[in-house]
Structures are given as structure tokens and as C-alpha cells.
Structure 1
Amino acid sequence: MSENKSTVLVEAKELVQPRLKLTYPDVHIPLNRRVQKNINRDIHNVLTGMLRADQYPNAEDKEFGGGYEVKANESQVLSLVFELYYYADGTAHGMVTYRSRTYNTQTGHAYTLAELFRRGSDWQKRLNKEIKRQFKKRDIPQTAPFETVIESTDYFVTPQDLVIYFQLYEYTPYAYGVPEFAIPMASLQDIANPSGPLARIGT
């Protein structure tokens, strides 16, 4: 497989507006402009949704910033994490939100967590067991009990791992930060969708 087919170019761009400074990814796929357009449109929609959820531009007492990180870019898989933070007047600390997308760079499809696995597999049971094990082993403080992952649970992939993460205050106190649970792809190959990211990268 040639490198130009397995990876895509991701260029950092900056959006500067009143009370907002945001660095975001601009994806380039010269041989497939349609997919390029669809991925960049989806990225725009994700970021717009994050800003609206945090009340930008209406919240005039908040200063916003953000960026992104490329977690995987190989084997026709692009996994991105978006960060948005703000500081409000009179508050003790800022707030941060993370969202992520994992794309098939041949089709532009963004995979849900459920789509990483074979239909009918016990993927939820497997992930739940591992996340609960890590909560206990790592002695992570909890403000609410973790029960289960769902189709829309936040995740990203790296070349080695599937990483599940949760937002501030979702299960842990603010001081702990955003908890991440890395699960080796090799341990999930028996239930991985054979055409999905776990099988593409993890083998």
C-alpha cells in the first residue's frame, strides 16, 4: 500500500473572532475532492456544535480557545480529537470539552463506536468490563458509577489502541481531568468490524 493512499494531509488553520481563537484541521485529499469536502464539512459541524453548546457567541463573559490533535492517520483511517475550552469572568477555573471523529478517508464516513465492531458481537460487555477494571486498578475517583458505553460514547484510535474517554464531571471530579481508557486493538480483533478502523490499523 503506498503512503499517499494510506495517509492524508492535515493542515492547521486558525479562526480568530471576538473572544475566540481556534486552531482547526483542514483535510486535503487531492484525488478525492468529494470525500475531502464531506470530511471538512463534518469537522465544521462538530466545531460549530461544540461552540453552540458552550453558548458562543452569546456568552459575553467567556473567552474561548481550542485546538485539535491527530491521533491516527494511516491505512485510510484518520482519527481526530477536538478541544474547546473557555474561561468565564469570576470563576475559579476554566472548562474544557473534547469531541472526536474517526473517518474512513476513502469514503468520508465517520464511525460510531458501535460501527468499530461486528454486528451481534458482545462489544459493549467487553468494553464495559475493561473500563471498570481500569477504574478500579488505577484507583480513579468517581462522582458517579460507570455503567455502560453506548453507540455514541466518545472515543478515538491510535495506531495501537482504542481509547474511550469521558467529559469533565461525567464520572470523575474536575481535579482528575478527562479520564481516558486505552484498550489494545490486538485484544479486540476477534470482534472487530473487518472493514473498520480496528481491523485496518490493528493488524
Structure 2
Amino acid sequence: MIKFVTKYHKERELILLKNKIFIAITLSWLLSIFVFNNYADAKVIVESKDIIKDKPKIELYIPQLRDLVDGNIQRQINQQLTATTESALDDFNQLTNNMLLSIKKGSLPAEYANRLTLVSDYEVKLLNKNIVSILQYGYQDTGGAHPMPFAYAQTFNIKTGKNYALKDLFQPMSSFAYYLTEKIKLEIKLRNKQDNYIFTGLQEQQKFFLTREGLFIYYQPYEIAPYSEGFIYFFFPYSDLPDIKLDEILY
């Protein structure tokens, strides 16, 4: 069979070839966006180490990094993440022992033992090629007036293992503490919470975590407000923080 190739066929094949190239480039571009937005550039996985127990009820999910280039840094970070949960477990065990002793003495009803609960989980707030910021949260019930929630965030440099304090995010000689304090005071006024919140300034070991969008300062129940207020968060976009080490955090 003789196949005749006309000018029309050649032009059509050229158009099809151009379309294929365009589609390939577009798919590659979309894939690169997907990878960037999901922090795959870090080539690091956060997986869970679980501790589960029935009586008392204990459900602990501990974040653990995997596939870091430096195994020593990975071990160092994972130990600190584990220590946070283990500290909560130690406190819970002590309170549990006190409660069981009170039940044994008859000063508390036996059904209080059924309330004993410790639950913790985690959320990866930021993960890229430089930084991982993880919030570990949960609650414990040891027979008080209500369960007690908690949240502890840690931010690490996954290349050096450095565990950041708030001041480490900013350039030397920065007036970030004054700036954040004044911004929080203003925000409290805007929320009309002057009578609910007792805020005088940042804490020495101020709790915070990072996201792609900015910095979150937060407080546990009872730290600056009654239990009924729950967790209190103050958000600062990176664009409002001129002294922050943005290149180190996001790129």
C-alpha cells in the first residue's frame, strides 16, 4: 500500500507535535507546583510512632522524621519530639497514681478511674528543605472539673538540628519582642478582650509555630485567659515581620 504524504499531513503532524510538547511542558509545570506546595523538596517524611493502651486509656501519636541526609540530626530531632510526649506521659502517670491512691483510700469514688485518659496527636505546620515546624497537641483527663488540653510546638532546622527559640527567627539586634508585644496588645483591644486576657508581654520561652503564611504566637488555657477562652492564637504574616530570617525559613 502506497502512503501519500501531503503538505496538509505534514502541517497536521507538526501541529500535533507542538501540542504534545505544550502538554508535556504544562504537566511538568503543574507537577512542579504540586511538589513545591506539598514540601516535597524537603525529601523528608514525618511518620508516627504510636503508644496505645486500654486502661487507663492512652493514645499517643508521636511525630518522627525519616530520610534526613544526616542520621545523627534525624535522631537528635526525633529524640526531642519523643521527649515532649514522654513528658506529658510522665505527668499523666503521676496524676494517675495519685488518683488511684485516693480511690484506694476511699476519698474518691471508684468510677473516677474510668475517666483516666491521655490522648496526643500532631500536625506538621511547615516542612520544606530547611525547616520543620510541628505542633503536638492533646488532652488529659485525670478526674478534675474538665479535661485539660495542651499543645507544644517545636521548630527545627533539618540541616543543622537546631531547635529554634522565637528570637532565633529574627536578625540580631531586632526589636521583634517589642513589636510583637505591641501588636498583641492592639489585637486584644480589637477583640475586645481586655477584661478576659492578662497579657503583659512575651514569655521567656514563648510558644510559637510557623506556617507557609506566617508566624503564630499561641497560649495554652489559663496562661493569659480563663479556661473557657481555650487556646489563644495571634497570627503575624511574614510581610509584617521585616527582621525575620525569611530566606532561612522558607527557601
Please say whether Structure 1 and Structure 2 have the same fold, judged by a TM-score greater than 0.5.
Answer: yes
- Whole-angstrom CA distance in 2 between matches of 1:167 and 1:148: 15
Aligned match of 1:149: 202
**Letter of the aligned partner of 2:95 in structure 1?**
A
Confirm whether residue 192 of structure 1 aligns to residue 241 of structure 2.
no
Aligned match of 2:140: 86
Aligned match of 1:158: 211
- Whole-angstrom CA distance in 2 between matches of 1:113 and 1:12: 26
Among 89, 97, 110, the alignment partner of 2:150 is 97
- Whole-angstrom CA distance in 2 between matches of 1:70 and 1:126: 27
**Letter of the aligned partner of 1:148 in structure 2?**
G
Deviation at 1:14, TM superposition (A): 1.3
CA contact (8 A) 2:208 2:215 kept: yes
CA contact (8 A) 2:188 2:197 kept: no
Aligned match of 2:126: 72
Deviation at 1:51, TM superposition (A): 3.0
Aligned match of 1:180: 233
Q: Which has the higher helix share?
A: 2
**Letter of the aligned partner of 1:192 in structure 2?**
I
Confirm whether residue 26 of structure 1 aligns to residue 80 of structure 2.
no
Aligned match of 1:6: 42
- Whole-angstrom CA distance in 2 between matches of 1:7 and 1:152: 30
- Whole-angstrom CA distance in 2 between matches of 1:175 and 1:4: 39
Q: Which has the higher strand share?
A: 1
Confirm whether residue 108 of structure 1 aligns to residue 146 of structure 2.
no
TM-score, with normalisation over the residues of structure 1? 0.86
Compute the RMSD of aligned alpha carbons: 2.2
Confirm whether residue 15 of structure 1 aligns to residue 37 of structure 2.
no
Q: Secondary structure at 1:57's aligned position in 2?
A: helix
- Whole-angstrom CA distance in 2 between matches of 1:16 and 1:63: 11
**Letter of the aligned partner of 2:61 in structure 1?**
T
**Letter of the aligned partner of 2:64 in structure 1?**
D
CA deviation string 1:124-152 (max 9, x = no partner): 01110111111111223654521111441
**Letter of the aligned partner of 2:235 in structure 1?**
A
Q: Which has the larger radius of gyration?
A: 2
More relative contact order in 1 or in 2 (CA 8 Å, sep 6+)? 1
- Whole-angstrom CA distance in 2 between matches of 1:141 and 1:98: 24
- Whole-angstrom CA distance in 2 between matches of 1:145 and 1:87: 26
Deviation at 1:163, TM superposition (A): 0.1
Q: How many residues align?
A: 195
**Letter of the aligned partner of 1:40 in structure 2?**
N
